[in-house]
Amino acid sequence: MTMWRPSGRLDCIDLERDFFLIRFSLKEDYDRVLKDGPWFVGGHYLSIRKWEPNFKPSTASVSSIVVWVRFPELPREYYELLVLHDLGQVIGPVLRIDTCATSETREQFARICVQVNLSNPLIKIIKIGGVEQPVHYEGINSLCFSCSRVGHKVESCLYTTRASKRDGEDRTKNADPAVLDRSTPSEETYRPWVIVS
């Protein structure tokens, strides 16, 4: 918990099954931890979420993560809070917009904190004003370049393995490449450049 450097007190309660309840004495600490992620412990992503009534560790699952995304070389006319918010919403719920993105101090990229659904492939391009805008993700250590999902590497991808076993090789050979790319992105589609350290 030292990584958060809270100004006030925080209590940590073990709820079992690798779930913990963290109580903050100061709302500022709570807001910072919730919105300033992603957080990592020993290279592993720490999923943070607001408390949910009737939470049971035995039935809970991690379905989303919070990440910072960058829009490199975004044209200056889109550096407005409402436009950046709409861009982020394409990826997932927007939690925060880097205030430097709307000022004149940052011109290399816009930066937005969003919640990403782990069961969906990452979005790598957003079309805006008829132009394809690349999307880069910060601090994601385990992105599968086969299925483009977060939480595992290509070596342990169940989505690709399951899809190839279910569909068979014949379907893959005769399939329309455009349709195949949408359902199972190839390794050529998602490369390490999508991730920003």
**Tens of pLDDT along 37-52?**
677 776 566 778 888 8
Whether the CB-CB separation of 124 and 90 falls below 8 Å is answered with: no
- Segments forming the whole domain that contains residue 10: 2-36
Residues 142-157 have pLDDT tens digits of: 667 677 676 677 788 8
Tally the domains of the chain.
2
Residues 28 and 74 reside in one and the same domain = no
Q: Does pTM top 0.75 for this prediction? A: no
Whether the CB-CB separation of 109 and 73 falls below 8 Å is answered with: yes
CA dihedral 88, 90, 93, 94 (to 10 degrees): 10
Question: Which of 3-12, 88-97, 106-115, 177-186 is least confident?
Answer: 177-186
Residues 32 and 73 reside in one and the same domain = no
Is 45 contained in some domain?
Answer: no
Give the pLDDT band (50/70/90) at residue 83: very high
Whether the CB-CB separation of 64 and 117 falls below 8 Å is answered with: yes
Is 130 contained in some domain?
Answer: yes
